[in-house]
Amino acid sequence: MNALDIEIGNKSLTCTVRPHLGGAVLKLIFRGKPVLRPVDAHLIDSSRQAANFALIPYSNRIANATLRWLGTSHRLTINNANEPHSIHGVGWQQPWSVQEWGEEFLLLSYEHLANECWPFDFIASQALSISENELHHTLSITNKSRQAAPVGLGWHPYFVKREDTSVSFKANGIWLMGEDRLPTKLGSSKGLDQSCTDLTVDHCFENWSGCARLADKELSVTVRSNLNRLVVYTNPKMDSVAIEPVSHVNNAINMGSQIGVNPEELGIKVLLPEESFTAQMTISVEEQQIR
């Protein structure tokens, strides 16, 4: 483990975090078994390679790295070299500061000053705590600008995909995507309940139940969140399944104006100066019972 990594946990569940690398989670281990995808802590140089990272102040993509807000276009930094969009906010590319650290608790903070990556000031915090067989993760943002600012929150955890892993959750819609990986329209969906072996998906599900389950012969993992949209990403070549609770539809800020819908209806939170928004996610882990 890197000298700058921090481990919290108990005898059953441990979580390793690298604050200076986007506050990313490197490992989540339950009784010796990885819950999130294993990463080589010595080789990792981006939180995109980590097991989980926070999405702040927006999730997924902003089309063509151009934010359109209150009649003004803001050109953003392209932060994923192989595509023209801005992706996953700014927090994943910045160091976070340790504010509190205990055996089963870690509090991180990050202060952002308006720049070409994001044109609004904000402060953010991540609180991670372990309780028995659960990791609790709270993410908060406060608008420090002098004007109303659009924000979104979420997480990008990659869960281990074993040979017999299945995924299940309920939803009432799915955002279909174009070749540019941006949503085009809302389709019908009841969620997923199937094996991950041959599953190919990279979509945002609307109004999910707030509870998703991954199960295989070794572990049963439950993801819960107060955020009412869920991005799921995997394909047969991947050894992981991304189960991402998020607050808003992909490209929601720009798409709202394009289709004549208030971005708030697509999940964007509009924060006045000094207003805050908080999200929670809990990952619960159990060993499968041998019969």
Residue 84 falls inside a structural domain: yes
Please write the tens of the pLDDT for every residue from 270-288.
Answer: 999 999 999 999 999 999 8
Pairing relationship of beta strands 13-18 and 173-177 according to DSSP bridges:
unpaired
Residue 260 falls inside a structural domain: yes
Q: What is the pLDDT of residue 4?
A: 87
Q: What is the pLDDT of residue 290?
A: 55
- Look at residue 233 and tell me whether its pLDDT is greater than 70: yes
- Residues 20 and 53: their CA atoms lie apart, in Å, by 12
Phi-psi region for residue 9, left (φ > 0), alpha (ψ -120 to 50) or beta? Answer: left
Q: What is the pLDDT of residue 29?
A: 98
Please write the tens of the pLDDT for every residue from 193-232.
Answer: 999 999 999 999 999 999 999 999 999 999 999 999 999 9
Residue 1 falls inside a structural domain: no
- Residues 41 and 27: their CA atoms lie apart, in Å, by 9
Q: What is the pLDDT of residue 3?
A: 59
Q: What is the pLDDT of residue 61?
A: 96
Number of domains in the chain: 1
Mean pLDDT of the region 152-165:
97
3-state secondary structure of 7: strand
What CATH code is carried by the domain that includes residue 27? 2.70.98.10
Please write the tens of the pLDDT for every residue from 77-102.
Answer: 999 888 899 999 999 999 999 999 99
Please write the tens of the pLDDT for every residue from 165-181.
Answer: 999 999 999 999 988 98
Instruction: Record the pTM.
Output: 0.95
3-state secondary structure of 149: strand
Q: What is the pLDDT of residue 17?
A: 98
Residue 151 falls inside a structural domain: yes
Contacts of 157 (CB under 8 A, 6+ apart): 25, 36, 51, 52, 223, 242, 243, 244, 283
The two tokens of residue 27 are 């490992």
Please write the tens of the pLDDT for every residue from 45-79.
Answer: 999 999 999 999 999 999 999 999 988 999 999 99
3-state secondary structure of 57: coil
Q: What is the pLDDT of residue 1?
A: 53
- Look at residue 291 and tell me whether its pLDDT is greater than 50: no
Domain that holds residue 196: 6-287
Please write the tens of the pLDDT for every residue from 112-149.
Answer: 999 999 999 999 999 999 999 999 999 999 999 999 99
HEC-encoded secondary structure of 207-248: CCCCEEEEECCCEEEEEEECCCEEEEEECCCCCEEEEEEECC
- Look at residue 150 and tell me whether its pLDDT is greater than 80: yes
Residue 269 falls inside a structural domain: yes
Percent of the chain with pLDDT over 70: 98
Which helix (H) or strand (E) segment holds residue 258: the answer is helix 252-259
Please write the tens of the pLDDT for every residue from 3-33.
Answer: 589 999 999 999 999 999 999 999 999 999 9
Q: What is the pLDDT of residue 71?
A: 87
